[in-house]
């Protein structure tokens, strides 16, 4: 069984974890709020939360997922069935019902289980009409859960066409809860679907789980995965990653928010890129935002959705990576800073781009599409922007 130090070798720069010797000692050693030690403590909690949700412990059974040739190892824990941090079913009486309403498991007593050999789980989900996702927050949700959701939601609002909107009376919706770990169903399953942001699930894990609800699968299970990485089973990985089911959208994205973190265990990395990409950068920890591949995947899935606001593109003629927004940004972030080459605007909106952060420096404004900012000597100069509704 892996211990904490082995799991987190990849995060030594953030501070080694220590094991508390009882509740009293742990309470005495809590760092002061706002200190560097507190920040490292929060990151350690997040590392644990993400790891435990990626590899939950519980009763295991085999299930054949849609699109996979080999059965996957699923885990039954806390009233849900998981493959990694993806929920594939929920306990209902003495049965486990999959997202597509099939019986995938029968429960016989407290410890015995009877897998249903015919169970085929549809783990891909469905799109939310118009990219609009109704949500409600469980009244019992913690302040930490609410803060993580708000931070991730703000990113979706600013950089994608997905809109998380408070539920009124919609039948299909996401309920944000504080449960054990960070997990979600994939796509819209119909009716209420829970999404957990438990203790330690900060904004980055929340962005990942919201991505699942949007309809994104894990990057490391895409069908062409083995052409890009070698997966070392026997480290922190288990059988859940041995299949390849995710449909490829664009090139393999080592830094996708949907890629599992890379752990260095037993002298080797879980994922070893075949392209020479540094193994220590696999996963999203260095970015803590959407990657270009994430934005492109969301745009590809929801390309038929109505686009409002302003869309920014990395290449001329509205090509390349893009994201759309109806809000302002004082800084594009390291991913998009000085990379904008064309702009498309929705009806009723206008934009202003600035060549410095915090809305400073030279500016360019319009309520029109611009296929090439080079014609205004503004190509690849944008560092901040404002979007205004007319």
End-to-end CA distance of the chain: 59
Assess contact for 313 and 319: CB atoms under 8 A: yes
Reduced to 3 states (helix: H, G, I; strand: E, B; else coil), residue 328 is coil
- List of residues 6+ apart from 106 with CB closer than 8 A: 94, 95, 96, 113, 114, 116
Assess contact for 88 and 100: CB atoms under 8 A: no
User: Would you call 40 a catalytic residue per the annotation?
Assistant: no
- List of residues 6+ apart from 16 with CB closer than 8 A: 5, 8
Assess contact for 148 and 137: CB atoms under 8 A: no
Closest CA to 196 of 42, 60, 80, 290: 80
Catalytic residue among 23, 144, 209, 350: 209
- List of residues 6+ apart from 129 with CB closer than 8 A: none
Task: Flag whether 41 is marked binding.
Answer: no
Residue with tokens 């994104």: 216
Q: What value, to the nearest 5°, has the Cα angle with vertex 312 and ends 308 and 313? A: 130
Q: In whole angstroms, what is the distance from residue 239 CA to residue 71 CA?
A: 9
Ranges of beta strands (E only) in 245-369 are 264-265, 268-269, 271-273, 310-315, 319-325, 342-345, 349-356, 360-366
Task: Flag whether 212 is marked binding.
Answer: yes
Q: Quickly count: other Cβ atoms within 10 Å of residue 12's Cβ.
A: 11
Q: In whole angstroms, what is the distance from residue 180 CA to residue 196 CA?
A: 7
Tokens of 354: 């600035």
Tokens of 273: 């890129």
Buried (b) or exposed (e) across 319-348, using 16+ Cβ within 10 A? eebbbbbbeebeebbebbeebbbbbbbbee
Q: Which residues are annotated as a binding site?
A: 208, 212, 218
Catalytic residues: 209
Q: Which residues are annotated as a binding site for Zn(2+)?
A: 208, 212, 218
């Amino acid at each position: 069984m892996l211990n904490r130090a082995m799991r987190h070798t990849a995060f030594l720069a953030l501070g080694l974890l220590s094991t508390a010797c009882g509740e009293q000692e742990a309470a005495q050693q809590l760092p002061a709020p706002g200190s560097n030690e507190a920040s490292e403590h929060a990151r350690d909690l997040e590392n644990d939360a993400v790891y435990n949700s990626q590899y939950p412990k519980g009763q295991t059974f085999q299930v054949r997922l849609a699109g996979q040739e080999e059965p996957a190892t699923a885990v039954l824990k806390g009233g849900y069935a998981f493959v990694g941090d993806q929920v594939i079913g929920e306990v209902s009486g003495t049965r486990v019902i999959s997202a597509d309403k099939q019986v995938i498991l029968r429960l016989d007593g407290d410890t015995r289980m009877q897998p249903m050999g015919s169970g085929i789980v549809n783990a891909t989900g469905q799109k939310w009409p118009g990219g609009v996702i109704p949500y409600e927050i469980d009244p019992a949700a913690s302040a930490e859960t609410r803060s993580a959701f708000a931070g991730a939601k703000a990113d979706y609002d600013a950089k994608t066409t997905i809109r998380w909107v408070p539920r009124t009376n919609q039948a299909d919706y996401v309920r944000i809860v504080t449960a054990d770990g960070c997990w979600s169903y994939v796509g819209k399953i119909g009716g209420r679907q829970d999404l957990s942001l438990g203790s330690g699930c900060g904004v980055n894990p929340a962005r990942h789980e919201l991505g699942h609800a949007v309809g994104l699968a894990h990057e490391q299970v895409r069908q062409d995965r083995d052409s890009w990485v070698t997966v070392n089973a026997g480290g922190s990985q288990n059988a859940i990653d041995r299949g390849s089911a995710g449909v490829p959208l664009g090139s393999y994205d080592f830094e996708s928010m949907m890629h599992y973190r890379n752990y260095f265990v037993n002298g080797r990395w879980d994922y070893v890129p075949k392209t020479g990409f540094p193994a220590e950068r696999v996963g999203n920890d260095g970015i803590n935002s959407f990657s270009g591949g994430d934005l492109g995947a969301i745009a590809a899935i929801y390309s038929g959705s109505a686009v409002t606001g302003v869309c920014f593109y990395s290449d001329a003629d509205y090509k390349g990576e893009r994201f759309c927004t109806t809000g302002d940004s004082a800084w594009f972030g390291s991913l998009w800073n000085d990379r904008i080459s064309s702009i498309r605007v929705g009806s009723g909106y206008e934009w202003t781009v600035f060549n410095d952060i915090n809305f400073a420096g030279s500016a360019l404004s319009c309520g029109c599409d611009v296929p090439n900012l080079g014609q205004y000597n503004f190509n690849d100069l944008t560092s901040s922007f404002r979007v205004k509704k007319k």
